[in-house]
Structure 1
Amino acid sequence: MNLISKISPQNRILNRARLIAEEVLKKEEEYEHFSDQELINKSDDIIEYLANNNPLDDKLVEALCIIREVIYRVHNKRAFKVQIIGAIIVYFGDFAEMMTGEGKTLTLVLVAYLNALYKKGVHMVTVNEYLVKVGAEFATPVLNFLNMSVGQITANMNEYEKRNNYNCDITYTTNSELGFDYLRDNMVTNYANKVQRGLWFAIVDEGDSVLIDEARTPLIISGEPQEEIGNYVKADRFVKTLYPQDFTLDPESQSVALTESGVEKAQKFFNTKNYYNFENSDIIHKVTNALRANFTFFNGREYIVKKDDDGEDIIALVDQSTGRIMEGRSYSAGLQQAIQAKEQIKIEPENLTVATITYQSLFRLYKKLAAVSGTAITEAEEFLNIYNMVVVTIPTNKPIKRIDHPDYVFDNKRTKWKYVIADVIRRHENGQPILIGTASVEDSEILHQLLERVNIPHEVLNAKNHAREAEIIACAGEYKAVTIATNMAGRGTDIKLSPESLEAGGLCVIGTERSDSRRIDNQLRGRAGRQGDIGESRFFISMEDTLFSRFATDNLAKADDKLSEDVISTKFFTRLLNNTQKKVESLNYDTRKNLIDYDHVLSNQRELIYKQRDKILISLDNKDILYRMLDSVIDYLIYQSHNKPNEDIIDIKKLIDLATQNIFYDNYLNQDEYYGLKFEQIKTKLKKDCINFFEQKEQLMTPTIFNQILSEIMISNIDEEWTKHLDITSKIREGVNLRAYEQKAPLNIYVEDSDKLFEKLKHNVAWKTVCSIGKINYVHQDYSDLNSEFIVNDNEINENNNSIDFENFNESIPTDQTIQESFDGNQLDNEDDKNNN
């Protein structure tokens, strides 16, 4: 093995970035002497150079020198070497792990400029609107200096404002708004109403939070409610009658299932002889959700009950990694309604999903993706496998002086809280600022009450008062300040220490429970010791904490022998903690990987649907698509008119009746003209009659109006069938693990069923489009409710070898590849992509 092969990819990437950064630093004095206009001219020259399809790599040092000097002239801040190194790593599409306080905001401006030189649009993605505002306000004067525009997206913007901001060279936005805008763009009925201009390059700030933690909850846009709410209450009442022996609860997977006695009770309660009968699928669905809502989801942990603007109680989801409320998000597949029933608040009808996407699928749509965060190395394998990003740890600008003390372990929570309060009192008397991290809203409230009893002034930051997050954290470094925070700990906001605080020992971070992930614990520790400041951290944990009760039950018996009322810290517990966290991290990774595996199927189908929609909306003449649909519809009509299956003997009267019933006016077709024709001649004749029929309609309406009507009908049918497809596939996915009798892997069953359903979707879109166009009589007629009464039987579709092939519709636009090619592994490029390449 040679020396090069022994060097890790991380070190190779870091060494390359270090060499480039050193070249930039050497030219500092040279660029100091350039006038403002000379810097602008140099930047414009690089833009022109890239416009001629030249690579930025050749001009990378020059570009970094320009933006570094401009930042200094605007903000009086000179980028450190480590910040330049971080920017270079992100520029090349990898993940830069930069410790808290190392200046990620400035680093991101460096790399935003580098990619904005291509003039294709750069998305700066972060976790909340406060950080969007902070980032944009820092970047705007710098990039405006170089004649570049900076936009920022907020949830309250209208369509016009969003479009203008997305059209800027660099756009700051939250991950949730970015995702919802993408989904909304693919629901428009007029292409000009889209707000985004394409997904070229994204830089994700707090990348581990967005790409790992929030990846478990898909973004969902819902449509009209689809069913009654009574059964949710009934299922909740039933679950509340159960005893522990009536159900099983797996602490690790958080799955709940009825035992034999539970099933017997369900059959009596719901008055059914066989609980698992297919006709009880809705009952099973609601009981399963009620079990989860009552035994695995808790107020103050997974969600909180709060008042909305009208004073009504609502369920608000809590991000388990940050402690923040996930605004605008709700659980899907009936779980939200089950929790509402449990909490006895107003139950909203379960909405039909009309659009959905996971963050994994969303960010993998970008041509180029990179990220930055203070904690990512523990998930390096996942970032590489899923996002193709290498995590590189950037050296700190100054040595870390924080002291990370060994954990204190206790037998129970009561003893733990006693020692936490004692430690806070001691440090507070010395004037040392303290940040206390809790795992839940409930724990933060307990600690709040305990501190009030001992008269220690403090601030509480949790999901209930997250609006003051930045204000609370900004003061957390003041002399004698005591701040309680859930896992969010003001992430993205610097805690700056006063001189008195530094003399008192710097910020002390106290963790009151170990998280499921070492990464989350490291985030909390990292609040102290920024930019070479002194500081301390220590975790106070008990054997009653969630991490142990859920995942380390086998080792608790051994631990009891080592514990007393006093604090204890041993290698045994250190090893137990580390092993337990690794176990949980592995389980969580498997969960996310499983989500990706299933979502990959839907993701491919979603891309096909969205690309087809775009092509229809852009095209000025969609008749070619209509005629390709027509080919398959005719095949199907003829198939239905066979006297015997698999024989080329057609019942002419049946064929004419079916065609007239679903497409033509009465007596439009001359049945006599079809007698005596051979099989292929009948197909040709019927297609010719259909085309003539449609052309007559087009002449009455004018080509422009006909295409507008045709486009709207196609889009309406695609959207309607896609919504049905999402609903059915979600239910299949939910119950696929119960189909063990098929002796197939659940994922394989889901893939097969989803593929069949997608074929049915394509068939129905084509059938309904052809029939709707056929039944239009007048230009101004309201045709939106026109649907064929012809019922498509699933078995007939499966048996029909000439079933509709939706992919072939794209052949009507010869400048593009067909959708079929994307099934073979080739990505379709939209018009923007072609212009950019």
Structure 2
Amino acid sequence: LRQRELNFAIVDEVDSILIDEARTPLIISAPSATSGAAYEQFSKLARQLKRDKHFGVDEKRRAVTMTDEGITYVEKALGISNLYDSTNIRTIYHLDQALRAEALFKRDKDYVVTNDGEIVIVDEFTGRLLKGRRYNEGLHQAIEAKEHVEVQEESMTLATISFQNYLRLYDKLSGMTGTAKTEEEEFHQIYKLEVVEIPTNRPLARTDMADKIYRSKKGKYDAIANQVKELQEKGQPVLIGTSAIEHNEELSKRLKKAGVKHEVLNAKNNEREAHIVAEAGQKGAVTLATNIAGRGTDIVLGEGVKELGGLYVIGSERHESRRIDNQLRGRSGRQGDPGETQFYVSTEDDLMRVFGGDRIRSVMNRLKIDDETPIQNRVISKSLEAAQKRVEGFNFDTRKNVVQYDDVMNRHRKAVYTIRKRALLAEDISKQIKEMVEQEAESWASVAPLDKKEFYRELETVFPFSEKQLKQLKKTEDLKERLKLFKDYAYELYVEREEVLGAEAMRQIEREAVMQVLDQLWMQHLENMEHLRNGIGWRSIGQRDPLVEYR
């Protein structure tokens, strides 16, 4: 197949593709044989281990580390003397994925379990189900074992490339989005793209209020329910954004309890999305949605809604990315319409908990502020934005790290794909085949075998020389003469094979053989490089830069 050159790409919602998706590599994979029993065994073991006692969790880096007590417990449970012995590499692999599945990946937040027992990933940025996508390196199987559904077979990587390197293959790249300004540095550094801000068509009439901060999630959810009830009685439509399905469903229960009639939109019922969004701007409408309603959704205001203040958007917590919050805010006040936005935050929210919520909680305790009373302070809102900037900075470093490591693989990829393309498109590759045959003959000729019997037995599998030729090779000691004989005999074999098969059939076989061997070796190389990358971080203990060592 002949593909067109990659000349020019225009990407819609460019920050979603070039930034949010950049940590996810593009992978073409095929099934490989594996046993689900090992995943189930280690899932059971992971459930026995206690957080902070047997293992530690770094939520910022989404990593799990075993403690000394945990290592001892696992060694005793598995009946082994040294968990980190080189013979236990597969054991460490299964244990690590089982612990990550247990401690870091939450049902109805990171993934959902469908009625037919399938684990489907939820996109953290859009709230949509990513059907057909699976976590790699055995993590998806570990989650399947955790949820007691059928463990699917592992996949083997046939080809992989990062989003960054794929899109950088285009000669010219451009895109559009309403939320690129906060990631201006990354667009420039990674993609060499400048961000140009275009003024709004009409002046912005939306009011963005300072965050309301509560001590607990309970106080926050109760306040949201009370506020929504007041707005519904007034007739002003409300859109409430949540970051996860579980929060979406929890808030829905509070609204029902408060007697608020509302629509729920999340990854579990997204088939009703068009209908729910179409009604979201009508008088008295209350729509409770995950990030599904955040990007690219145009909510049209019903008759008389502008006079009531337009669409009222409530964020039930701050997302780790300011762009996601800005996308939610942007559902209100479109095309110069009036609107209001308000974020409700608690010190128990994930972002606050991981990035400094304890300090704000201690301030609230000193001021004797109860669960129902909020703090509404621009300084605290700024500290929340600072936390978001820290997360964004960390995520930027992660994405930069991905592209730096993939740049190494990119050189390998280009070399292999150039050879592959040449083999695929050239009418005749016999010249290259003859060069390969000559190189192989040279490598065999230069070997000084310790076991001559074994050497000639192996040689026959590569070059099936005649008895006469083998006798001549065995008695030739001079290296130059031996090298010449090897090349001559190998060439004679090649010519004989072509005469038997015919030139046309020979060309086809050559092409298929090169493609098959190249693909097989490339798959093995990808696996080896993945193992190297997973372990290269340990070089930092010896004061060496892992990236330099990897290169």
Is residue 2:548 matched to residue 1:748?
Answer: yes
Distance 1:502 1:686 in 2: 88
Aligned to 2:39: 232
Partner residue, 1:707: 507
Deviations 1:334-370 (A, max 9, x none): 1101111111111112121112222112111111111
RCO greater where, 1 or 2, for CA within 8 Å and sep 6 or more?
Answer: 2
Q: Determine the C-alpha separation between the residues in 1 that align with 2:295 and 2:494.
A: 61
Counterpart-to-counterpart distance in 2, 1:368 and 1:239: 48
Q: Distance in 2 between matches of 1:412 and 1:328?
A: 37
- Residues 684-704 of structure 1, C-alpha deviations (whole Å, 9 max, x = no match): 332222122112211221211
Matched, 1:304 2:108: no
Q: Which residue of 521, 528, 532 corresponds with 1:728?
A: 528
Q: For 2:493, give the aligned amino acid.
A: F
Q: Given the alignment, which residue of 438, 446, 462 partners 1:631?
A: 438
CA displacement at 1:263 relative to structure 2: 0.4
Match of 2:518 in 1: 718
Hey, what does 1:112 align to over in structure 2? Answer: none
Measured after TM superposition, the shift of residue 748 of structure 1 is 3.0
| 1:235 to partner: Cα distance | 1.0
Q: How does 1:309-324 map to 2 (within 5 A)?
A: 312-324=116-128
Instruction: Give the counterpart of 1:408 among 212, 228, 233.
Output: 212
**Cα distance per residue 1:226-277 (max 9 Å; x no partner):** 3212111111111111123111112321211111110000100111101111
Checking the alignment, whether the CA contact within 8 Å between 1:325 and 1:463 is kept in structure 2 is yes
- 1:352 aligns to what SS in structure 2? strand
- Unaligned 5+ segments in structure 2 are none
Separation of aligned partners in 2, 1:661 and 1:425:
81
Name 1:827's counterpart in structure 2. Answer: none
Deviates more, 1:665-674 or 1:280-289: 665-674
The percent identity for this pair of structures is 38
Partner of 1:215: 22
CA distance in 2, matches of 1:202, 1:600: 21
Q: Which residue of 2 aligns with 1:495?
A: 299
Q: What is the match of residue 325 of structure 2?
A: 521
For 2:328 and 2:255, locate their aligned partners in 1 and report how far apart those are by CA, in whole Å: 21
Measured in 1, the distance between the counterparts of 2:180 and 2:242 equals 21
How many Å apart are 1:676 and its aligned residue?
Answer: 5.9
**1:248 alignment counterpart:** 56
Could you state the TM-score of these two structures normalised by the residue count of structure 2? 0.94
Q: Tell me if 1:485 matches 2:285.
A: no
State the distance in 2 between where 1:273 and 1:520 align. 48
**Equivalent residue, structure 1, for 2:162:** 358
Matches within 5 A, 1:116-515: 191=1, 196-244=3-51, 245-307=53-115, 312-489=116-293, 491-515=295-319
State whether residues 24 and 162 of structure 2, in contact with CA within 8 Å, keep that contact through their aligned partners in structure 1. yes
CA offset at residue 448 of structure 1? 1.6
- Do residues 672 (structure 1) and 472 (structure 2) align? yes
The answer on whether the counterparts of 1:251 and 1:551 sit within 8 Å (CA) in structure 2 is no
Structure 1, residues 108-142: CA drift from partner, whole Å, max 9, x if none?
xxxxxxxxxxxxxxxxxxxxxxxxxxxxxxxxxxx
Question: Structure 1 residues 611, 428: CA separation in 2 closer, same or farther (over 3 Å shift)?
Answer: same
Query: Offset at 1:740?
Result: 5.0
Per-residue CA distance 1:416-460 (angstroms, 9 max, x = gap): 011101111111112111110001000111122222223332221
- Give a deviation string over 1:470-492, Cα, whole Å, max 9, x none: 33223221222111111221522
Kept after mapping to 2: 8 A contact 1:660/1:666: no
Give secondary structure in 2 for the equivalent of 1:393: coil
Which residue does the alignment assign to 1:32? none
- SS of the aligned residue for 1:331 comes to coil
C-alpha distance 618-542 of structure 1, shift in aligned 2 (>3 A)? same
Q: Partner amino acid for 1:717?
A: V
CA distance in 1, matches of 2:314, 2:268: 21
Closer, same or farther in 2 for the Cα pair 1:654/1:458, shift >3 Å? closer
SS at match of 2:18: helix
Check if 1:601 corresponds to 2:413. Answer: no
Query: In the TM superposition, what whole-angstrom CA distance separates every residue of 1:799-831 from its partner, at most 9, and x where no partner exists?
Result: xxxxxxxxxxxxxxxxxxxxxxxxxxxxxxxxx
Stretches of structure 1 lacking an aligned partner (at least 5 in a row): 1-190, 644-650, 752-837
C-alpha separation in 2, matches of 1:374 and 1:394: 9
CA root-mean-square deviation: 2.1
Q: Find the residue that maps to 1:294 and give its secondary structure.
A: helix
CA contact (8 A) 1:257 1:291 kept: no
Aligned length: 547
Change (3 A) 1:696 1:580: same
Q: Any conservation in 2 of the 1:301–1:440 contact (CA below 8 Å)? A: yes
- The AA in structure 2 aligned to 1:210 is I
Match of 1:580 among 372, 383, 387: 387
Q: Secondary structure at the match of 1:537?
A: strand
Distance 1:282 1:587, change over 3 A: same
Local SS of the residue matching 2:304? helix
Residues in 1 aligned to 2:254 and 2:476: alpha-carbon distance in whole angstroms: 95
Deviation at 1:654, TM superposition (A): 8.4
Match for 1:595: what amino acid?
V
TM-score by length of structure 1 reads: 0.63
Could you tell me which amino acid in structure 1 is paired with residue 292 of structure 2? M
